[in-house]
């Protein structure tokens, strides 16, 4: 399995449940959060793994910039789509999800 695919699968396994739990409310909100978390990670993770790795001079700089972009873009998506519309909740969901997936990735991969 390629390192990028392994990173994507780990990211989805960790981040999707975290975001879903942060936005857990009765009704369709949890399903909407789950779907959105999958979609945003299918965009941000490959970008980090493939594009930034080629553009940045070192892997460390690619990871740093990629994580900052991922947290920001994912939080923006959560804020725009999910309810209640809260910058704090969107940043919590994105920040916590990315922190956990990054930490687990360092440990597992």
Span 49-88, pLDDT tens digits: 888 778 888 888 888 898 999 999 999 999 999 988 899 9
Q: What's the pLDDT at 29?
A: 83
Q: What's the pLDDT at 59?
A: 80
Distance between CA atoms of residues 92 and 94, nearest Å: 6
Enclosing H/E stretch for 85: none
Q: What's the pLDDT at 57?
A: 84
Per-residue pLDDT of 83-107, as tens digits, reads 888 999 999 999 999 999 999 999 9
Q: What's the pLDDT at 25?
A: 79
């Amino acid at each position: 399995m390629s390192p990028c695919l392994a990173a994507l699968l780990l990211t989805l396994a960790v981040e999707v449940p975290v975001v879903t739990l942060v936005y857990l409310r009765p009704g369709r909100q949890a399903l909407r959060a789950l779907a959105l978390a999958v979609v945003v990670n299918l965009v941000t993770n490959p970008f980090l793994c493939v594009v930034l790795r080629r553009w940045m001079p070192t892997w460390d700089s690619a990871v740093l910039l990629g994580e900052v972009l991922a947290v920001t873009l994912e939080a923006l998506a959560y804020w725009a789509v999910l309810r209640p519309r809260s910058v704090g909740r969107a940043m919590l969901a994105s920040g916590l999800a990315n922190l956990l997936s990054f930490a687990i990735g360092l440990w597992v991969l």
